[in-house]
Structure formats: structure tokens, C-alpha cells
Amino acid sequence: SPATSGKLLVVPMEGSHWLSMKDVLVELSKRGHEIVVLAPDSKVLIDSSGMYKLKTYPVPLKKEAMEEHFR
């Protein structure tokens, strides 16, 4: 039997992990789930969407340092 929709808290990692997970979250949202994505304020790839609510939290590492690390 299908699962009922519910509330999800997602704490993703940057990079390909997030890019793959984002498609799953969009589909879950279409099926009625309420989703909150919790990410550091230095996020690079993790972005907001109408399909989920994005909440950020402060970290000592700045966004510029993260971008440099990825380069």
C-alpha cells in the first residue's frame, strides 16, 4: 500500500549528493510531503525551491572559502 505523506527534514551534503537528492525531493513534494532542507549559510549548490522550505544556519566557514575549496 502507498505511504501517506508526511513531514521530512533533510540535511544534505554539497555536490553530487545534493544534485541527486533534489530530484527525489521534488517528486516527494508532488506527492504531498512537506519538506524542510537544513543547510549551512555557506552553501554553494543547495538552493531554495517552491517544492521545499530552505532553512540555513551560521557556520564559521564563509561561502567564498567553500567556492575556493571546490575550485
Cα–Cα nearest to 70, from 16, 31, 9: 16
- 37-43: long-range contacts, CB 8 A cutoff, minimum separation 24: 37/10, 37/11, 37/12, 38/9, 38/10, 38/11, 39/11, 39/12, 42/66, 43/14
Average pLDDT over residues 46-66: 87
Q: What is the pTM of this model?
A: 0.78
The partner residues of 54 in beta bridges, in order of sequence, read 37
pLDDT tens sequence across 3-37: 677 899 999 887 778 888 999 999 999 999 999 99
